[in-house]
Amino acid sequence: MDERDIKYIEEKLGRKLNKIELAMFENLWSEHCAYRSSKKLLRIFSKTINEKTNKDIVVGIGDDAAVIRLNKDICLALAMESHNHPSYIDPYNGAATGVGGIVRDVLSMGARPIALLDPLRFGNPFGEEGEKVRWLIDGVVRGIGDYGNRIGVPTVGGEVEFDDSFNFNNLVNVVCIGLVREKEIIRGKIDKPGYSLILVGSTGRDGIGGASFASKDLTEESEEDRPSVQIGDAFTEKCLIDAILEAVKTGKVKAMKDLGAAGLSGASTEMCLSGCILNLNNVILREPLTPYEIMISESQERMLLAVEKGSEEEIIKIFEKYNLPASVIGETTDNKRIIAKYNGEVVVDLPIDLLTNAPLYDREEKADIREKIDDKNKIPLVDLKDAILKILESPNICSREWVYSQYDYDVQIRTVVKPGKDAAVLKIDELYPMGIGLATDCNSRFCKLNPYIGSVYSVSECVRNLATVGAKPIAMLDNLNFGNPEKPERYWQLKKCIEGLAEACYAFEIPVVGGNVSLYNETIINIKDYPINPTPAVAIIGKIEDVEKIPGIFIKPREGDILIITNETKDEMGGSEYYKVIHNTECGIVPRVNLRKEKQIYDKVRKLINKSLITGAKDCSRGGLAIALAKFCINYNVGLDVNLSEYNKNNLREDILLFSETSGRIILSVRPENVEDILKEIDGFVIGKVGKDKLNISINNKNISITLEELKDKYYSGFPKIMGELE
């Protein structure tokens, strides 16, 4: 705790803090819990909530999860969290408990978890830290897979990005989606006295001080913080899911809160707005603990419930049926204080408003745009076929099958479009053929070069991915991963990224309904700082009217189908994979986004898909047009015959045309008889047709020909090479 904070608190209280109370403030006033550097900035997102976007928001920002009405009384609970620091110190347990925590956030709304997504960031697997990076990848993926598989919640999507900036701070963000009927929604707050508090789960010594640990830079000594990493038990979590949903059905549960950051201290103060009194002797322990440890332990698989008086025995019997320990540990009061007793003595007596309203910081900011115009004379033209194949197997482009093959993405049998495509798709049995599309995105390199533009681009790319499956965006979550906000350049990055996300969501009419802020992702080694790239990871959920009309499900590309691209390509090479992989540079202009035009493009693509007029669709982003064409071939197992000479109206050099990552482009395949009608609907360009088993590209009398077998070999061998499994 900052000495000024302690002085401020003790002046408000008129007395000294005891050890337990000090620990409670240390955790609840930490950046992780209180958002002291970011809360003022997050108010910018309010512009995305308006009369166009708020009609289906049932629960907005401020609860464990947001709830969006999908159709009739069927709602989706949505939450996104990070477990970055723990996953660097202990990748397996850090990632596993990240999954467990986000699942409980959704569960606490009374929702059944139905899907997970995992946006991940790792360092350079081929650099000096390569061995450590591979160890982290292995541990994180196994942690996510083992926990998600064992609790029966499918991991259906996500992303993996590699960059040197993540060498000492890998990022593990997790999204969970749940299904709940509107009348069964439970809130995480209660403001009335007289309700009994039941704590489900046993409390141990693991995870003590986790919130404060997550609110500081890592150092060479951070291994000593390993006890701050929680240990998960997936079998217990599976039992907890079933038991909680059964308890909710009784109608006796009036509020519920996951015990996450700050443990019992956090859950009780955030839930019991009118006040509460706790008897710590009634907390079920795994081992002897002090009151200090009981209050701030972050042991996993625990929930705090506020239930009607007289229903305690009924509710506890439900948990006993699932072999889950549960006990009445207190009740809500009307004095707006948290009072905790142990052995008959008061060990905590604090006003809840003071605990939950830490003073906010006004940070200094300093602009740090790194975008610079590149000198094309210093970027030599290379063999284009070799460049395509080299980029296709590079870390940020290659197949993630190595990752998602460890996940059970079919459990619950809702998954229609599986991992590996632009967006995941789930059918909602209660509303079939309606479904939902799920996508996550963030280009951290763009955000480093120009935080505002990079954030706008990330939202646009996510919307574009959803458009390829016919999904209309209905809500967005964000996970804001940044370095030390006390440094003016880092704070400026945070501010500009939030502004970019808000502006893009406003234009696309997407409400920002929740998320997470993870700061201090910055390591100090030998007095040198190693901050991560600014990484505002976004997850957007979209509604699909008919999952059977998605390209590749029942309607598929066939030889002779015509290829159309939806937007022109510009000379925007800054931060491109081509520049990084082939020329080891990041210079240049980051792609700009015409929000009005792109909204029109994505709306029209979605409508064409819903009319069953599109046989194949592929987003064009990382790697540019060449990689999008290659992935189209791989995804649909077809060849393509492409002529870009006429399309190249800007007379771009061949490598720029192929590898620029200009926003707003989707490659579509359509039946020949529908081309004329489609071009009346959408301002697109015909660039070729579906062929047999080769990708043939012609530009200005230059021809590139790559067999489908060559494309697949490079694409699928990339990740095994990262992990040292292939030469």
Query: Which residues are designated catalytic?
Result: 32, 83
Strands 74-82 and 66-71: antiparallel
Distance CA 395, CA 652 (A): 27
Nearest 5 degrees, angle CA 458-CA 460-CA 465? 95
- The token duo for 68 is 């969006």
The answer to whether 456 and 495 have CB atoms below 8 angstroms apart is no
Distance CA 158, CA 663 (A): 20
Nearest 5 degrees, angle CA 307-CA 309-CA 310? 110
Phi, psi of 530 (to 5 degrees): -125, 85
Distance CA 78, CA 67 (A): 6
Distance CA 538, CA 440 (A): 5
Strands 424-427 and 415-417: antiparallel
DSSP annotation of 190: B
The answer to whether 200 and 250 have CB atoms below 8 angstroms apart is no
DSSP annotation of 567: S
The answer to whether 573 and 374 have CB atoms below 8 angstroms apart is yes
The answer to whether 69 and 59 have CB atoms below 8 angstroms apart is no
Which residues are CB-neighbours of 688 under 8 A, at least 6 positions away?
562, 563, 640, 641, 642, 643
Return contacts of 31-34, CB within 8 angstroms, 24+ apart.
31/214, 31/215, 31/485, 31/517, 31/519, 31/520, 32/211, 32/212, 32/214, 32/215, 32/261, 32/518, 33/211, 33/261, 33/262, 33/266, 34/358
Could you check whether the bond before residue 531 is cis, i.e. omega within 30 degrees of 0?
no
Q: Could you give the count of Cα atoms lying within 13 Å of 407 in the half-sphere of its Cβ?
A: 28
Which residues are CB-neighbours of 573 under 8 A, at least 6 positions away?
374, 379, 579, 588, 589, 656, 659, 660, 661
Distance CA 543, CA 509 (A): 14
The answer to whether 88 and 170 have CB atoms below 8 angstroms apart is yes
The answer to whether 83 and 101 have CB atoms below 8 angstroms apart is yes
